């Protein structure tokens, strides 16, 4: 049985992943035409490349259909319940940096931290009769964070895209989203709460605890880890 490694199937994330492995002597590439989602690995025997959408890699790791996978650490934390029981973080890859943050209108001069957001939510609910709405697609990460911070009187509303526009469109009062430069936030008159990101995400190599780890795949993993210069204990 070969060791399956899931890698993002397109874009900068794929290129950077190929570069990262390539720099360590593991050559990944697409086989066949540009449009075919199949790949090959040279440099270590017994490794099979599986090209997948980055968003599906957490699910495939969870199901154990791939042994290793490269995806954003935010996606793994948000999509997998009790993520550390399901996957092992093998190595952060040093690219794909993005912060999951909470942002509110810049006009809110009375709100700077999550503490302020909590107090504003209490007053908002009393005034408007419903809980302050935070638009996001990162439900688990945001809810866990706000619960840990002891925030009350809010609700999460789902937003799968153009989240920065929800405040102006009156479908949310605040947002929680991924940002790298903050450009889009500024353009939409939003500012980031100052007490730190909910999660600082980057592309990360994960191993699936639930994949089939037999003597062969374990040996391949050991060899691959040695080549990559990382520790991998599943």
Partner 1 sequence: MTDRAAIRAEAETLFASFKSAGAVAVEADTLLPAETLLDLYGEDIRARAYVTSDPLRGEMMLRPDFTVPVVQAHMQNGAEPARYCYMGEVFRKQDRPGTRANEYLQVGFELFDRSAPEAADAELFTLFHGLLAPLGLRPATGDIGILMAAVKGLSTSPRRKAALLRHIWRPARFRKLLDRFSGRAAAPQARHDMLTRLRSGDLAALIADAGPMIGLRSEAEITARANALIEDDQTPPLAAPEAALLYDLLTLQAPARAALSHMRGITSMLPAIEPAVDRFATRLDALERHGINPSDLPFEASHGRSSMEYYDGFVFSFEGNGLPVASGGRYDALTAVLGQGRSIPAVGGMIRPAMLATLREALA
Binding site for partner 1 (CB under 8 A): 81-82, 85, 105-113, 115-116, 118-120, 122-124, 127-128, 130-132, 140, 143, 146-147, 149-150, 152-156, 167-168, 170, 172-173, 188-189, 191, 194-195
Please state the closest distance from residue 142 (CB atom) to partner 1, in A: 9
Cα distance between residue 117 and residue 57, in whole Å: 33
Q: In the complex with partner 1, which residue's Cβ is closer, 65 or 140?
A: 140
Tokens encoding 164: 């920065």
Q: In the complex with partner 1, which residue's Cβ is closer, 37 or 108?
A: 108
Cα distance between residue 198 and residue 98, in whole Å: 11
Q: Any idea what DSSP says for residue 163?
A: G
Q: In the complex with partner 1, which residue's Cβ is closer, 19 or 110?
A: 110
Percentage helix, strand, coil for the chain under 3-state DSSP, each rounded to 5: 35, 30, 35
Please state the closest distance from residue 124 (CB atom) to partner 1, in A: 6
Which stretch of DSSP H or E encloses residue 215? helix 215-228
Cα distance between residue 182 and residue 184, in whole Å: 6
C-alpha pair distances (Å), 215 with each of 6, 218, 219, 220, 222: 20, 5, 6, 9, 11
Q: In the complex with partner 1, which residue's Cβ is closer, 34 or 127?
A: 127
Question: Contact 178/201 with Cβ under 8 angstroms?
Answer: yes
Cα distance between residue 130 and residue 156, in whole Å: 12
Number of neighbouring beta carbons within 10 Å of residue 202: 15
Q: In the complex with partner 1, which residue's Cβ is closer, 67 or 191?
A: 191
Please state the closest distance from residue 93 (CB atom) to partner 1, in A: 27
Please state the closest distance from residue 195 (CB atom) to partner 1, in A: 7
Cα distance between residue 138 and residue 75, in whole Å: 8
Please state the closest distance from residue 65 (CB atom) to partner 1, in A: 18
Q: In the complex with partner 1, which residue's Cβ is closer, 175 or 203?
A: 175
Please state the closest distance from residue 197 (CB atom) to partner 1, in A: 15
């Amino acid at each position: 049985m070969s060791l399956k490694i899931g890698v993002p199937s397109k874009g900068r994330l794929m290129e950077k992943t190929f570069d990262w492995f390539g720099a360590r002597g593991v050559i990944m590439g697409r086989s066949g035409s540009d449009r075919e989602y199949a790949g090959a690995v040279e440099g270590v025997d017994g490794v099979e490349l599986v090209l997948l959408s980055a968003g599906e890699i957490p699910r495939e790791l969870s199901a154990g259909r791939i042994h290793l996978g490269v995806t954003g650490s935010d996606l793994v934390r948000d999509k997998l319940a009790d993520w550390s029981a399901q996957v092992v973080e093998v190595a952060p890859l040093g690219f794909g940096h993005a912060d999951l943050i909470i942002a509110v209108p810049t006009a809110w001069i009375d709100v700077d931290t999550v503490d302020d957001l909590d107090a504003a939510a209490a007053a908002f609910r009393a005034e408007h009769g419903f809980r302050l709405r935070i638009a996001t697609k990162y439900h688990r990460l945001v809810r866990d964070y706000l619960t840990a911070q002891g925030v009350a009187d809010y609700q999460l509303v789902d937003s799968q895209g153009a989240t920065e526009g929800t405040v102006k469109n009156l479908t949310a009062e605040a947002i929680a989203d991924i940002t790298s430069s903050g450009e889009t936030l500024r353009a939409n008159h939003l500012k980031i709460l100052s007490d730190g990101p909910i999660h600082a995400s980057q592309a990360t190599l994960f191993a699936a605890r639930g994949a089939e780890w037999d003597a062969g795949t374990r040996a391949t993993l050991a060899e691959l880890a040695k080549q990559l210069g990382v520790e991998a204990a599943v």
